[in-house]
Structure 1
Amino acid sequence: MLIGVPKEIKNHEYRVGLTPESAEELVAAGHKVLIETGAGEGIGAEDDAYKAIGAQIAATPAEIFERAEMIVKVKEPQAAERAMLREGQILFTYLHLAPDPEQTRDLIDSGAICIAYETVTDTTGGLPLLKPMSQVAGRMSVQAGATALEKAHGGRGVLLGGVPGVQPGKVVIIGGGVVGFNAAQMAVGMHADVTILDRNPLALERLENHFESSAKVLYSTKAALAEQVAAADLVIGAVLVPGAAAPKLVSRDMLSTMKQGAVLVDVAIDQGGCFETSHATTHAEPTYVVDGVVHYCVANMPGGVARTSTYALNNVTLPHALRLANLGWQEALKADPHLLNGLNVCKGQITCKPVAEVQGHAYVPAATAIA
């Protein structure tokens, strides 16, 4: 199979679909890899590194999309890229379709087979291709929030860890999953005052056992959430409904109760965001202010630490890319029900139920679509 890797074109996105090491594995398995020139520069991988392992270099993205049987990316295809997709071509990348009806329509019209990293599952019910980026984003959320809290960046002028004789900043984390857990680890490590809210009793028990007295764990009711948000210096939105739009948990009314210069970091922004006042931002202009509250809503946070993120992502995507290349998409999906869960759009049909429901499309089960 010919696997194509275009250069990412989303604002300040420096990751790449395949590292030279991953490309080498595909070449060793008998496949051809076509890399757009400069695609790996953001992680320090020059074209020569890809040539050295037997990959070919393409001068333009058009060549990639025209020749490749499978496109391996990181971020969802932008409008110009979607226009180049063709019927029967495999697209393997993050999609986050629920809050993006325009992308969904374009993928339907393309006739491509679109497999989303974020809905591939594992035997434990987890999301293994989303997990490493959730780990990165969770850890980055505290770094980003700490910076936004600085007065020069519009924040309250609070140091999260405080100093002897001065109270630390109060960090409230909504959601105790992978993002929330990693955010809490960083915030606790900075000696902040940390509270985590969740509604899953098993998650609450796990968090309590792990953090013990270093973080407070609360069951998330509307009243508890409102109270914690009002007292917070930094609120991190870390909720996830797989494949679906994120619930709006922090309302505009809640902002009026918050401290001036407090910070919201919405890690759920890829799925539409969990704050009512959220809209996607970029690394170029990461924050904006609503009612005196600083919002950080960068939709590709891990792109800011591209090398770490790319290698972490390739560790989990490469086995699936190899399976798709070795078996072809139909046989690979039939053989692996967890990879099948990643199928979101198949030759004009929506095969991800949450996406179909939120956008009003007809839903076709993935198993039916590939039969």
Structure 2
Amino acid sequence: MFQAFYNGLSGMFTSSKALNLVSNNVSNMQTPGYKAQDAFLTSLSTRDGNGLGAKVADVDYRFSPGEVTQTGNSTDLFLDGNALFILKDGADYYYTRAGLFSFDSEDNLVDKLSGMKVVGFDKQGNLAPINISPHKSLPFEMTDLVNITGQLTNKTPNYSFGDLSIINAKGESQDLSLDFSYSEDNMNWVVTVKDSLGSQVGSGLVEFEADGTLKVGKNELQIMLPEGQSVTVSFGEPGSLAGLTSLNESPESNISISDINGEVESPYRQVEVKTNGEIVLKYVNGKQVDVGRLALAKVDDFAAFSVKEGHILSSNGDRPEHLKAGEGLDVNVISGALELSNVDLAQEFGDMIVIQRSYQASSRVLSVSNQMLEQLYNSTNG
């Protein structure tokens, strides 16, 4: 009779623990990468088979994929396939399905929830954290070549072109102008280059053949700027009509810039993660740089992993293979999406009903045992 009392009590205890797991599952429905837990009970008995109630034998995790939500954040990543992201904390490797990533204050790609660094492959194929510090902006490039095209005619013997903007040795944009003056005595053009203050920074002669094409050796000039910067102004190839020409039948002079090099410093404006895990920075000037590629852990069986905490998994034995998406792994990395928990609300509600009935029944056993004991005590007093 006393044993029935304690059996009912153990049933209430195990039901309470199982309900704790269910409530925790439900509360983590929206937690990225959370894996639902299940409680498994076992009966207790003596050697001669007398029942001693029940206890929680084990708590296991469901490793089925979770729901996927769109976030629009390019560093939020979802793995479409059987693999895990790799995280590093000191010398230890951990794993997760929750790709809730961002760049920290030191420009490392990290897991937002734990702060652990996301592991990738560098250009040499070595495992390393993904850091964008060296690539946050592209350095400026000085202008050293300007290509000019158009036409000059002695019908307008003095012509000024003021739309030449170059990148100087400080990485700044600097405006220059070209003044063309026709010399009838020598039948050539004197070119004077001035800065925005009107100071001369270069000069030279441009000469043409009778057919209006440039002469050899008279088709370019050099501009010398402060800090040793030299800029070549090319008017085209000698004998070609593709560059600057001199055709007197033209009504007026008109030139333009066909090509110019040099770039101001350009910060990155966007991070793109490709389906193969390549991480690319896109810059304001339209250029892009590959800064690394995500490393992924191959998963043959999730039983080889255990939950360290929350969405973080650890390997139970040997370290799994670290591979690239599409190279040994049939996995796609989807940017702008997250895997949420794999909690099935219908299953949790069903388990909750069963647990509630179990608790009620155990409570009833406890109540009946107490009534029988009370009846026994009362009969001894009679």
Q: TM-score, normalised by structure 2?
A: 0.21
The higher relative CO (CA closer than 8 Å, separation ≥ 6) is in 2
Higher Cα radius of gyration = 2
The structure whose residues are more often strand, as a share, is 2
Which protein is richer in helix relative to its size? 1
